[in-house]
Chain A
Amino acid sequence: MQHLLFRRKKVSRSLAGDLLLFLVLALLGSFMAMPLVFVINNAFKPINEILKFPPDFFVRNPTLDNFTDLYHLLSNSWVPFTRYIYNTLFIAVVGTIGHVIIASMAAYPLAKRKFPGKSFLFTIVVLSLMFSATVTQITNYMTMSWLGMLDTHWAVIIPAIGSSLGLYLMKQFMEQVPDALLEAAQMDGCSEWRIFWNIVMPIVKPAWLTLIIFSFQGLWGAGGAAGSMFIYSEQLKTIDYALNQILAGGIIRTGPSMAATLLMLCVPITIFVLSQSSVIQTMSTSGMKD
């Protein structure tokens, strides 16, 4: 085994290739990291640097004023600020967990079992990805009002749980799970539920960790977009809605707005880093073997 791995390394990896790839990556990377650098710099700029013309990309005299200003603005809001945070977290967490579990559960039979109606059920999910969401929003609004879901968090959560992306992603990954493994489990008398939960899900861990990022990111940011359409009560609104209200106060609030953008970004970035580093860990500890 040791010998084999060593030989593979020697045969298929050249130093010149490594250097070339690294160069390409470094060049592109500095270009891609631009928005993060920009947001971080602007969040710490004092007001005279923000309004400076021509603008500087990098901050000269970093300050925390923007954050204290933001705090004062928020503490004056009509509904206690923690309420908005709670609403956003509730929507993002419940929606993400629900989507990952329910979509994976439906993806398993579609990927690994044969039954009547299988190809139809899968095809409509893929097709639905190609239909513009703008026109379906109106009809969704009508459905929500029939179901009495308007002005509740569920109006945002439930459609997110049934979104097409997760099912498609999970199904494609589960297709790679070796059939022999599932047959062996069936021989041992595992029920379909146990096979799904104890065998398939651990193998496709990188897939659902990635899905957590997509789902959380979508609900964290766009909870407001769907939210502003389906939720009217102030005490049910999400944090990005509240921030937009406060920061609509014109150019003088650019500083706090940048601070708010940075704080809002911290949560998805944390989720991203946690999930990505465990995607990579799974791979080093448990190889998928046939």
Chain B
Amino acid sequence: MQIGTKAQRAVGHAAVSVRLAHLWKEIKLNRTLYAMLAPYYLIFFTFTVLPVGLSLLISFTDFNMLEFPDWVGWRNYAHLFVRDDVFLIAVKNTIVFATITGPVSYVACFVLAWIINELPPKIRAFATLVFYAPALSGNAYIVWTLLFAGDSYGYVNAFLLKWRFILEPIIWLKDPKYIMPIIIIVQLWLSLGTSFLAFIAGLQTMDKTLYEAGAIDGIRNRWQELWYITLPSMRPMLLFGAVMQITASFAVSEVATTLAGFPSVQYAGHTIVTHLMDYGTIRFEMGYASAVATVLFGMMLGTNLLIRKLLLKVGE
């Protein structure tokens, strides 16, 4: 018995060391590849992985940035879901927001990129610029505060009054009923960003011979071409776009605070990220803010896994 286990252990050790030796050999074999990875990952670990790891740790503490953090276990998380009513409003708003803007903007990014790709090359760059303009022009969405100004001089109010749709001006950005829809419209308008350009570049790198082969194989119109050829070969970009749109639609905050103010009336424009900023940059409760960030991270991750499964079905 004793001897048997000893022998087994020895064999186990041998197996482990063989595996390690094998691993080492493979690493040495691929040293050029690791040299290529090194500069990027050195920076990435220092300035991304380390802070994220630290903030995961901090989410279990009470940390005001002056004193050394106190370990409090799950208290921040319990507090978030049980006692913080405003957080639950923020979660609700964020989910409503993301389920509308996420899919719509994702489809819009692709469809517009595809339409632009059908244009003659000369006007393609111009059309791309026009559609990318909101994302390119930084905080130009301030122009929307003019459109939705609450007095009779706001463009939307003036128009509606003139055409007798309403009798008195609507205070758009101070009315909980309208805040959410307006933020959604503005965010959609801004959303032709990273994924849109990535799709355009993706359509440019497509293998043109695939289309010729498709025409021979009986592809009859541009819709079939889109579904059976373009979409499947764009899958890497579609995945990339999905991650970008998910993070963008869950992380909405700046537009909400610019348009609806902070805090917004009855928290109608309050999202998870505005909640996070409230605790992180105003109240300096970093432990609590980190817990909010972790919850948000979990939500994005779950959505992303779901989308990934759906995208694998494209073109079947």
- Give A contacts to B, CB under 8 Å: 4-5, 7-8, 11-14, 17-18, 21, 24-25, 28-29, 31-36, 38-39, 53-55, 57, 102-103, 105-106, 108-110, 113, 115-116, 121, 124-132, 134-140, 143, 147, 158-159, 161-165, 167-169, 172-173, 175-176, 178, 191-193, 196, 203-204, 206-207, 209-210, 213-214, 217, 221, 261, 264-265, 268-269, 272-273, 276-277, 279-280, 282-284, 287-290
Across-interface contacts of B128 in A (CB, < 8 A): 276
A135 touches B289 (CB 8 A): yes
B277 touches A4 (CB 8 A): no
The smallest beta-carbon distance between B77 and chain A, in angstroms, is 15
Across-interface contacts of A287 in B (CB, < 8 A): 207-209
Q: Which of B23, B236, B277 contacts A173 (CB 8 A)?
A: B236
Which DSSP category, helix, strand, loop or mixed, fits chain B's interface? helix
Q: Which of A140, A169, A268, A269 contacts B51 (CB 8 A)?
A: A140
Q: Which residue of A lies closest to B151 (CB)?
A: A54
> Could you give, for residues 28-66 of chain B, a 1 whenever the CB lies within 8 Å of some chain A CB and a 0 otherwise?
001011101101111110111111101100100000010
A109–B286 alpha-carbon span in the complex (Å):
37
With contacts defined as CB atoms under 8 Å apart, how many contacts are there between chain A and chain B in the complex? 280
User: In the complex where A158-B47, A280-B121 touch, is A31 in contact with B189 (Cβ < 8 A)?
Assistant: yes
A135 touches B43 (CB 8 A): no
Which DSSP category, helix, strand, loop or mixed, fits chain A's interface? helix
Flag whether B239 is at the interface (Cβ < 8 A): yes
Give the total of B residues in contact with A, Cβ under 8 Å.
100
User: In the complex where A272-B129, A280-B204 touch, is A105 in contact with B297 (Cβ < 8 A)?
Assistant: no
User: In the complex where A21-B115, A115-B33 touch, is A132 in contact with B51 (Cβ < 8 A)?
Assistant: no
Flag whether B132 is at the interface (Cβ < 8 A): yes
A282–B130 alpha-carbon span in the complex (Å):
21
Q: Which residue of A lies closest to B53 (CB)?
A: A139
A140 touches B140 (CB 8 A): no
A8-B215, A178-B207 known, 9 other contacts, Cβ within 8 Å = A25-B116, A126-B304, A129-B243, A132-B297, A134-B277, A158-B47, A168-B243, A193-B32, A221-B138
A-B contact pairs, 17 of them (CB 8 A): A4-B216, A29-B130, A105-B39, A116-B30, A121-B37, A130-B246, A130-B301, A136-B51, A136-B52, A143-B50, A162-B42, A173-B237, A191-B32, A207-B198, A207-B201, A214-B197, A283-B204
A102–B44 alpha-carbon span in the complex (Å):
11
A134–B55 alpha-carbon span in the complex (Å):
10
Across-interface contacts of A161 in B (CB, < 8 A): 40, 43
Across-interface contacts of A137 in B (CB, < 8 A): 51
